[in-house]
Amino acid sequence: MIVHPIDYRYGTPQMKRIWSEDSKIKRMIRVEIAILKALAKKGYLDPSQVERVKKEAVKIEPEKVKQIEAEIKHDIMALVKAISEVAGEASRWVHFGATSNDITDTATALQLRDSLKVLDVRIRELIKLLAQKADEYRNVVCLGRTHGQAALPVTYGFRFAIWASEIGRHYVRMKEMEKRLLVGQFSGAVGTQAALGREGIEIEEEAMRILGLKPAIISSQIIPRDIYCEYVEFLANLSTTLEKIATNFRILQRAEVAELSEKFGKKQVGSSTMPHKRNPIDAENICGLARVVRGFVEPQHQSSILWEERDLSNSSAERITLVEPTILVDHIITKMIKIVRTISLNLSNVRKNLDAQKGLNLSEAVMIALTRKGLSRQEAHEIVREAAMRTTSSFSEELINDEVVKNYLDDDEIQKLLTPENYIGTSEQKIEVVLSWINSVLR
């Protein structure tokens, strides 16, 4: 019986494969083999024996391990027994000096590494798409809004550049996090490697080298969970930016704004009762699932608070707190890539919404001009504010007829000040700064 929506509705097959139960078991077998190889290098057993174990162990079906677990009620010991059954002479050395979390935590590092490879590709693609839109729309002047109200003009290129820079910073965070996150361990029951003696550090380093990981600097029975907290916080932070972008896409698709449109399929249905509807379902999907992702931050932090060298209160939670947010973030970033790639801009509505302000949203431009002409900034603010409050149809006429304003600005100057294209400041230069920075980040 399938219950969880991740099984049938959310997540890409690629990411779900990484975090499947079968995948975890296969990776744990890899860890046990790597430990045997490291032990063989120190003379515990012959390397040829390890090769025979490897040949047979990779054939172990996850179902076999689960059958043993059902009997003995211990997942890792079930794995050890399954490997030992096919290990022949090397069976005496299977799991030698190891504790359960040496296997599970190191296998988790392998899953995290593969997950980051997937996210790396996705994030890079999204950054590139956002940067392309920033470049494409750099000269599309639109109505800026603060508090949901008309503000100064901005450009759509500027908006996309802001979003691209934010995703870019997440990419930088991810790359910086990797060196702390992708670590494994072979530390034994309480972290002291007592069963291995003074060779413990060298054996651990060799096992991690074989797996392509770095050993944790120090660990108890488990790898310290602050690194998992950092990972889940990264996913939460990334999901927040994705929701921010999606929220703005939703706002800008409202019927009374209608400046952006998600792609709508030829046979797509927007409503079961209102045939005209074209709902922003992908953006809404991102917003909803991003909120779920952020909900995993606190449980993961709680899973870091363990008794002495370790208790088991984290285990059940981490079967969820690492898996679900990873799959959901991969899902929503894939959705965002789809939206950005196919979203369309209605230039006529962009212009209509801008012109509907009749220059009122450029009140700052007039205030600044009056200040440059000799008025104090505060006096200029009050004069322009009063003219704006009096305006019922034409802001420019109110300014032209204002007894103070006409002493400083002529009609032509006022019209130029109320032209949106003349008041976008350094938006184009800022876009160039972002595009240049992104090129350096993705190099």
Residues involved in catalysis: 147, 271
Q: Token digits for 408?
A: 């400083």
Q: In this structure, how many other beta carbons lie within 10 angstroms of the beta carbon of residue 254?
A: 11
Q: Are 326 and 115 in contact (CB under 8 A)?
A: yes
Of the candidates 276, 366, 285, the one whose C-alpha atom is nearest the C-alpha of residue 331 is 285
Q: What is the CB-side half-sphere exposure of residue 370 using CA atoms within 13 A?
A: 25
Distance, in Å, from the CA atom of 218 to the CA atom of 224, rounded to the nearest integer, reads: 8
Nearest to 429 by CA among 170, 153, 129, 155: 155
Residues 331, 339 contacting (CB under 8 angstroms): no
Answer for the pair 11, 17: CB distance below 8 angstroms, yes or no: no
Non-local CB neighbours of 372 within 8 Å, separated by 6+ positions: none
3-state secondary structure 85-148: HHHHHHHHHCCCCCCHHHHHHHHHHHHHHHHHHHHHHHHHHHHHHHHHHHHHCCCCEEEEEECC
d(CA 214, CA 182): 7
Cα of first residue to Cα of last residue in the chain, in angstroms, is: 46
Q: How many whole angstroms from its chain centre is CA 396?
A: 46
Find the Cα–Cα–Cα–Cα dihedral 8, 14, 18, 20, rounded to 10°: 20
